[in-house]
Structure 1
């Protein structure tokens, strides 16, 4: 499948309604500036300087620890952002489904790490077809049960499939997501994978992100317990000859406490080890949830600077129907609200004026499909009230759930001039 250069045009939310379709290379020449009102709001934008900072920060973090990066591509589902990450040294890109991985492969991603179980026949069909299309492609997915191996072998027998899929044994945490819960389950599953004519055991995977609490002692104890299990399972698999290759992949790492797993991803096992972090939200970061987590990372590592928020959603003050309440032109269809409600970070007059920090008493306390309820102190001076027509930028929690509401995002410089754009493929 040949994917042509994406076209940006009035079929996209926020693009000028009377504008002609444009190729990506034509975007900078349009001389748009979102502070001037050249693009309709709401609009999600990416800040170029912050993106570059975050790319380099995570690249250096991994390089200093001898680790590799396969960031979660499901965060943005943006081929242009994946390419930025690969150009900055990422080994591959992680995905959650075969559909997502296929989009990645067809946009040139060379290594696909599907951090999820593959068991459906339709997904196995799709993965086999993808490898037939692209013989140099490398992919791997997770296995956490003997029954999953049985199902894959039954599919292979039915289809006459004679290839072999690379897989990772997943170790899980009781009460959390997928993955084997006990050492016996892990042992039985690894042995079954190694004996399968359809699978090859490439390494071991785990995920610690849902256990993060910003409690240093608690987070460290949870991660150490999980990584102890990973190392024990890897040593047993080596002793039993279960790994298919000399190099062993050990992978973990969400976007909250990745510094703790990073300490344990390259143990001395007497064999080459490729330690792979899969943090996905680092590229854009956020203003709320992950900012709090990264404060804890900074405390543990004694850092003066970590990641910077690069994603904002801009809206217009479209109504101020009563004292203390203004309605913004964005809602659940435009911005993440699954973890925290968006919160205003700056305001501008909507006519080219420079951004100014919003008053401390401003807050968003509710969203409808197309509206945000901005509350403010009606007793404050009127200069601190929202003004009709002005622009309000909000920061979010969890960038994944904002990206999937947009099919394009302009990239802006420090003056909020549009200098590039990216697409998403949800």
Structure 2
């Protein structure tokens, strides 16, 4: 979907503009139509800003099924929860926007105190910068010529833009230097060295490798060293003590590299950025990554899934996070699942099996299959047990297994939680936002 048009950023005085207030006017004016999945078949096209006045209710069947939705109360709770957690931990957060790719949700995260946003591709960065974002971490290595040039153009044309990119090899550094030299760009990209783990994906595999790269960056005319970062999510297993030890060890590597870079005077700028980017053990990062160096240190979490949360993978890790974080966090509710998918039973072909009109086109299936939590029949909401499970999914169908006893009938509604919001949002071009009675109050647009 094309990015919204916005005013020319070169005409904006960075001293008079909040660095992270997004202009959502074009998104709010975007017109939704029945051609979009989840939009009522017989409804007139409506601008996003007018969706809340339509009077629709999901459980009444006003929207066609399946439909993915967001619960407003859970979103509000999660925004407040993470704001409290980061404030009390003394760290900042730049949420990973690739989870939702919904600028309206970015704006809510920024309003709740986020330092900036993290993004995964230059397409995502370009969209967010056009909307007004001015603090960005590109949590990926720049390697494509077009992406390197786009990063340089954004820096040249956007007053007040702070854009950090990741570098993890001499080969990548040489690539960036060659592209910018050939195109006669005179800017220096802010670069964070990525520390990785053996068997993982990107990132320097040793302190020695990271330090050699840091010295090369410090001497580069194309790149300036702004910080050190890592992604700790590949190490988590679900065993709390093991996870805490592994993540702590990676944070110590980041600190060792940062301490040595500081001692050698390799950092550029007045502050040093330390960052880590997962949603499963961010509490360990918040406790172990902050450190003192010769200049101020900005410690930034990049967790992205906390806003929508889920009912499976991250919900299991949430219990460990609360347990590790002390009595205050054990006593208060943790993050809540805000993302749900509702569908209908389309067939009940044999005892103990119902076929749902929900499939891989609609919900994530990479970590867990959707988890049924609610059943609505003609009489209203009916009880559902934990032994109701979705055993398999096809492109457009899900196999709901349930024990002997009351059985869902054809046409009944089944509400499902999901596991891994990142791979559910990308299946929907818009999502309604509902209150606790499932009245549609607003809508968000995604940009995948």
TM-score (norm: length of structure 2): 0.91
User: Do structure 1's residue 332 and structure 2's residue 354 form an aligned pair?
Assistant: no
User: Do structure 1's residue 90 and structure 2's residue 114 form an aligned pair?
Assistant: yes
Q: How does 1:208-247 map to 2 (within 5 A)?
A: 208-247=232-271
Q: How does 1:164-179 map to 2 (within 5 A)?
A: 164-179=188-203
SS of residue matched to 1:74: helix
User: Do structure 1's residue 315 and structure 2's residue 343 form an aligned pair?
Assistant: yes
Find the counterpart in structure 2 of residue 288 from structure 1: 312
Find the counterpart in structure 2 of residue 396 from structure 1: 418
User: Do structure 1's residue 413 and structure 2's residue 446 form an aligned pair?
Assistant: no
Distance in 2 (CA, whole Å) between partners of 1:361 and 1:195 is: 61
Structure 1: runs of 5+ lacking an equivalent: none
User: Do structure 1's residue 363 and structure 2's residue 366 form an aligned pair?
Assistant: no
Alpha-carbon offset, residue 306 of structure 1: 1.2
TM-score (norm: length of structure 1): 0.96
Q: How does 1:152-301 map to 2 (within 5 A)?
A: 152-301=176-325
Q: How does 1:31-180 map to 2 (within 5 A)?
A: 31-180=55-204
After superposing on structure 2, the runs of 4+ consecutive aligned residues of structure 1 that deviate more than 3 Å are 353-357
Distance in 1 (CA, whole Å) between partners of 2:402 and 2:238 is: 30
Distance in 1 (CA, whole Å) between partners of 2:161 and 2:381 is: 46
- Report if the CA contact (8 A) 2:252-2:289 is conserved: no
SS of residue matched to 2:83: helix
Deviates more, 1:293-302 or 1:41-50: 293-302
- Report if the CA contact (8 A) 2:102-2:444 is conserved: yes
Find the counterpart in structure 2 of residue 2 from structure 1: 5
Distance in 2 (CA, whole Å) between partners of 1:139 and 1:8 is: 33
Distance in 1 (CA, whole Å) between partners of 2:380 and 2:153 is: 52
Find the counterpart in structure 2 of residue 423 from structure 1: 445
Distance in 2 (CA, whole Å) between partners of 1:283 and 1:191 is: 38
Question: Could you give the per-residue CA deviations for residues 33-61 of structure 1, whole angstroms, max 9, x where no partner exists?
Answer: 00100000000000000000000000110
Alpha-carbon offset, residue 354 of structure 1: 5.0
Distance in 2 (CA, whole Å) between partners of 1:412 and 1:356 is: 21
Question: Could you give the per-residue CA deviations for residues 345-383 of structure 1, whole angstroms, max 9, x where no partner exists?
Answer: 10113x6x6544423332111111111111122xx23xx
- Report if the CA contact (8 A) 1:410-1:420 is conserved: yes
Distance in 2 (CA, whole Å) between partners of 1:17 and 1:110 is: 39
Question: Could you give the per-residue CA deviations for residues 161-213 of structure 1, whole angstroms, max 9, x where no partner exists?
Answer: 11111110111111112100111100100001110001111111011011111
**Residue 372 of structure 1 is aligned with which of 398, 402, 405?**
398
Please provide the CA RMSD for this pair.
1.3
Distance in 1 (CA, whole Å) between partners of 2:51 and 2:203 is: 44
SS of residue matched to 1:173: coil
SS of residue matched to 1:27: helix
Distance in 1 (CA, whole Å) between partners of 2:356 and 2:112 is: 37
Q: How many residues align?
A: 420
Distance in 1 (CA, whole Å) between partners of 2:380 and 2:422 is: 28
Find the counterpart in structure 1 of residue 48 from structure 2: 24
Distance in 1 (CA, whole Å) between partners of 2:261 and 2:162 is: 22
- Report if the CA contact (8 A) 1:171-1:230 is conserved: yes
Distance in 2 (CA, whole Å) between partners of 1:206 and 1:328 is: 40
Distance in 2 (CA, whole Å) between partners of 1:216 and 1:30 is: 46
Alpha-carbon offset, residue 124 of structure 1: 0.8
Find the counterpart in structure 1 of residue 11 from structure 2: none
Distance in 2 (CA, whole Å) between partners of 1:210 and 1:317 is: 37
SS of residue matched to 1:83: helix
SS of residue matched to 2:128: helix
